[in-house]
Structures are given as C-alpha cells and as structure tokens.
Structure 1
C-alpha cells in the first residue's frame, strides 16, 4: 500500500511525531519514549540543548531537576553517545554493543591495553561512581583510537560504554560520573537477536520521525512502516501507520522555539523537501557571513518555519537579550503576537526578563 500525502499532511505528521503540536506531553519520560533521544550539548546561549528540547515540548512546567531525577534516581533514562535515551531502547542497542568495535585500530588499542582496561573496571567496582579525573591513567599504549579527543581514561571509558560494560551514572555539573553498567542499567531487560533488535529500532526511529525518506543516512528506518509519497517530492518515504490514523484527529498548532541541535532539525534534506526550509547553523561561520545570528533558534508556527530568534541570556542583568526576530515572510499581527508570547514564556521559564532591542 502506498499512502499519498499532501505537503500539509506530511508536515503535520512530522510535527506531531516530534511532540511539537498543541497536545503537549506530560513529562520527561514521555518525551524520551517518543523522541528516542535528546542531544546533550553545553552551548548555553539561551539554555543547554537537553533542557531547551524538553521545555519546547513540555512547556513552563518543565524543570531541569526532572531530567536528572529520571536519569540518576528513577533510571528511566540513560546517557549514551552524547544523548539521553529511554531505557526501553537499551535492549535494542545491546546486539551492536556485543560486536563493537568494528574498526581494527580500536580493537588493537583495546588489546594492547588489557591491563589498563582491567584497572579501570577494578577501580569502578571498588569505588564507583567516579569522574574520569579520579581514575589513574595506566595505559600501556597511550594513544586515542579513531581520532577521539580526551585523555586515555576518557577514551577507555567511552570504549567500555560502547561495549556495555560501564555506564554514565549521572553528572556533576557537566562532568560525567562513571560506574559499572550492572549497577546502573536494569538487570531484567529483554534480550533480542540482532535482526529483531534492528527491526524494532527502525520502527522506533520512524515513530519519532513520523515520516522519513526510504533510504536516508540522516533518519535510517529501513523498511519500517509503510510506503508514502508526498506531493511535490520525487522521494519515496516511509510513514508510521499510526501517524496516518492520527491525521483524522483535529490538528492543534502552536509556536515552538527550537534549539539549533534539536532532533527536529537534524534531517536537513527532509526539512527542505517537506518544509521548504533550508536550515544553516551559523555558529561556526565568521561573523560577517551570519544572516540570523551565532546561535539563532528556528521558530516553528503550527507546521511552518516562520523565522529565527537571535537572543542570548545575560545573567549579569537577568535578561533575555533579543537582538532580532528574523521573519522569513512578514507575519500577520496575530502570528507575531503568538511568537512574542512564546518568547516571553521562554524568558519566564529561564527566570529572566525579555529585553527586545530597539
């Protein structure tokens, strides 16, 4: 069966899958289960990515402590590869952990550091959880495989994380605290073989995406879901069947201010195909080449990207300094009021006052 979607329907499917429609989720775990991951990034021009992503879904009732509780106390989320993920995904990742690493130079580095590996595990077993800086570097071969940065201890911990032997137990500020995986992850998780795990993981990715190109390096979903075509696009898509059913429900739109590292923005080709939105992160561009600002946040209104918010928090003055709201097309008065209201909501959540530039 092939589903034929209008561009508006395709946009609504994605917005709803990303929890950016009018029906806000209730808590951190609900967001994690739907999205699959929340990127961790310290860039805090407004707020760190993981917190902005959750605020943009949950709204004013979200507090950063809720994320820490879900990760460190309730163990409903876990940290892996620069993102917070729901614990329900861990069983689907285990087969890949068992065959990691695939690169020969990483295997050779681990084999040459057998004693170092044992030292790190023994230290965690005796004293964990620990920050990397508290663990002695006893590396026999002091080099960094695959171009990773950081100390030998951090490199070894990252390797052991990918093999499922250690886990991030929590954070002290931005510093990770490490422990044995058996003391962090639940012990009664289901087991899957590699083929079944991959199929289930593809389905979870499609659930989070709603709609994805059939062969996409950005949103790999395999053959999950059903085939779809979108008006105006020559691409073959895969669509979540549940998202098709949900199209019959009344759509409720709202304004969402998105962190530049939000998963909604990750698949740039899909943004162009479905939303006709070419998103460029200008963080690493020279200042004279920036159009919208160093770390401008895209503004979603309903199912359209309507502009970019160039703002930063000034903690010395307790203000959200708004340099500009760049409108792609002139907004109607009611739309501009909605955008301004969301900016004020953002400032209130941050505990500062909005200060619009003259």
Structure 2
C-alpha cells in the first residue's frame, strides 16, 4: 500500500497551499469562488456579521477584490451555488444537489425529532398549506403565512409557519430564493433549480457508494486530514467513527485515497489520490503575506489539528459568557506565510467608517519583524477595501504595533 511521509512543517505548508492561502489571492472573481468551492466541497455559513459573515471572510482571504455581492449573485441570481446542509449549514455547488439526497432525508428525520422534542411536531401537518400558499403568492418569508404559533415557552420557532418551512427546507421541498439580512425567503425548489438537475437520480448504486463519496469529499474539504473525531468530521454519516473507519479502509484499497504519516504524530492522515499532484508544490516557497481568517474557515475546522500542526490554540468564544472568554467575542486568527502568528477582535463594522480593532494579540512564540508589520499593513488595506471601510482607525495601529 502506497504511503506518503512528511514533516509537520510540510503538512502545514501543504494545507496553506491547498486552501489557496499561499500566494496573492489565488482565485479571481465569480469563477474563482466556484473553483475554490469545487476544490473544498463547501464553505460553512454562519449568520453572525461583525466584519462580514463567515462565508464572506473565507472568500475575502482567497479571492482577489472579493465583494460579498459576488457570492450573493452566485447564490440568488445565477443560482450556481446553493444553501444546504453539509458540514453544518453550508454553501455548495448546485451540481452536488443529487448527491445530497441521503443528507436531506437524514435532515428531514432529525428535524422531525427536534420538532417533536420542542412540542412543535404539528408543523409537519401544514406542509401542503405552506406549499399551496407559495404556489399562489410566490416566494415568501415564513412570517407572511399565519397558521398559528408553537407551544408557548418552548425554545425554537415562534410561529408554526417558520417551523413548517424550515422542515420543508431541510427536506428539500423548499429552497432559499434570497435572504433579507438573515431571514430566508423560501420558494419551491422546482422554481429555483433546473428541471434537468432535479430529475437526476441519486448517482449511487447503494449506501456504501454514497459513504465513500462523502468521506472522500470531506477529506478534500481540508486537504489532508486524519481519522480522529473532530470538527472536520461534523455532520451526518461521516461523524460515525466506526462507519468512517470501514469506508477509509475501502477507499485505500480502491486507491481513491493515500495514507499519510506525519513525523511526530501518531495519527494516520489521508489525502485524495487526485490531490497528490499538489505535493509537488512543496518545493516552492510560500509568499510572506498576511491573511485574516474566518472563525469557521476550512483550515480551522479541527481545532486539535490546528494546535498540533500550527501550534495555535483557537476557540470561537461567541457563545461563551464574557467572564469565561480568554480573548473576545468575535476573534479572527492571522495567518502570515504558513504560520498563525496573531489574532484580533474587530468592532462591528457598518458603512464606510474606519475599521476599529478592539484588541490585538501576537503569539508569544512569534518574534515580530518589520517585514511582518508591512504584510499586516498591506492586508489591512485589502481588508478595509473589502469592508468599504475608510482605512484603519489610527489608535488600532498602536494596538498592533504594541
């Protein structure tokens, strides 16, 4: 059986290159967004918006002159991308729609259990009512349809229509036509996706073929990944360690993935066979440029991996009480070359006001250089352009310089 051996430094370098973070903005325009998503399968969606939503932050670090309207256009105008469930709530290519039939079925079942637990199972009895309403009135916010409220005092949806349409979306009956801030405007999926795509049957002969496709896809979401429970294996099916172990063995036997051993680590890693060509790039150097990373960036999905490979401990603390936060509410890691060297907490930014940095923390192990400071300055210029901010507030520079 073929095996690849590499050092931690080589793995770190490969991951940065694979993720499109190793040279000045590796992807360009809408085609670049599609190419990146085709490489990694999906990017994670989260509605919190401090300096852009998670998906925007992922893309601004990779796509030249990125503007959030590029993603909006691909999602809700050209409809080449779609909101769906993969590794949690995510965005992926519409060409993958037929492949996710089993995920939609599992989401449907899970949503039914959640509704039952919350005392809102009545919501599924109104599917036909919601469907008829949309057929008559067109795409809608759930709030426009009044079919009653859920049981008083339970956590979750307040209106039955919200619970019903969320259930229909998870089941694949509805899709997202657009979003008004964070609210989904739903339409029937047949009004959003081409008939020829919806008519495509699930492209697997059996469940096992689907599992193999899905595990292989998830490895590609990171680049090289281990078979250790963690953030990279979140989601339906792939989170089952016993199933995953069986499927990885079969993929190895089929030559679809290659085993990777990393010096100094006991875990076994895997890479898709098609991606091994990128290992040739390890001989080239990585530009000493800076990137501000999304909290839920593909590179950061597995916090233990980040600690072991980048020597960087990171936790997203938005859901922690203030008293238990080590750093701050919404903190972005800073990549410089192939090292995570700092992190910062921005103020919420709106309009074209200067960007304000509440706090900046260099890693204690990192010796700050003039070259690194110049890279940070250049990165902030690009970041402020993405935000349409009038530069960086003067006092924020003093925090960075220390």
TM-score where L is the length of structure 1: 0.88
Q: 1:150 to 1:77 in 2, by over 3 A?
A: farther
Structure 1 counterpart SS, 2:177? strand
How big is each residue's C-alpha offset from its partner over 1:199-229, in whole Å with a ceiling of 9 and x where there is no partner? 2222222122111112434223642522111
- Which residue does 1:14 correspond to in 2? 15
More helix by share: 2
Contact kept? 2:41, 2:221, Cα under 8 Å: yes
Q: 1:106 to 1:237 in 2, by over 3 A?
A: same
Deviation at 1:244, TM superposition (A): 2.9
How big is each residue's C-alpha offset from its partner over 1:258-305, in whole Å with a ceiling of 9 and x where there is no partner? 122323222111112222211122334454554433322100112110
How big is each residue's C-alpha offset from its partner over 1:52-90, in whole Å with a ceiling of 9 and x where there is no partner? 21111103x211211111011211111124322211222
- Which residue does 2:172 correspond to in 1? 164
Deviation at 1:12, TM superposition (A): 2.0
Deviation at 1:325, TM superposition (A): 3.0
Match of 1:234 among 240, 254, 266: 266
- Which residue does 1:66 correspond to in 2? 70
- Which residue does 1:75 correspond to in 2? 79
Match of 2:280 among 244, 248, 251: 248
Contact kept? 2:219, 2:225, Cα under 8 Å: yes
Answering whether residue 51 of structure 2 is matched by residue 51 of structure 1, we say no
1: CA distance between counterparts of 2:73 and 2:349? 28
2: CA distance between counterparts of 1:164 and 1:42? 21
- Which residue does 1:292 correspond to in 2? 327
1: CA distance between counterparts of 2:218 and 2:38? 11
- Which residue does 1:192 correspond to in 2? 203
2: CA distance between counterparts of 1:75 and 1:30? 15
Structure 1 counterpart SS, 2:342? strand
Match of 1:93 among 97, 100, 116: 100
2: CA distance between counterparts of 1:86 and 1:310? 31
Instruction: Decide which moves more: 113-122 or 64-73.
Output: 113-122
2: CA distance between counterparts of 1:285 and 1:105? 27
Aligned length: 354
Instruction: Decide which moves more: 182-191 or 110-119.
Output: 110-119
2: CA distance between counterparts of 1:298 and 1:331? 16
- Which residue does 1:33 correspond to in 2? 38
Structure 2 counterparts to residues 318-337 of structure 1, below 5 A: 318-328=353-363, 329-337=366-374
Deviation at 1:308, TM superposition (A): 0.6
2: CA distance between counterparts of 1:226 and 1:10? 14
Deviation at 1:149, TM superposition (A): 4.1
2: CA distance between counterparts of 1:288 and 1:163? 39
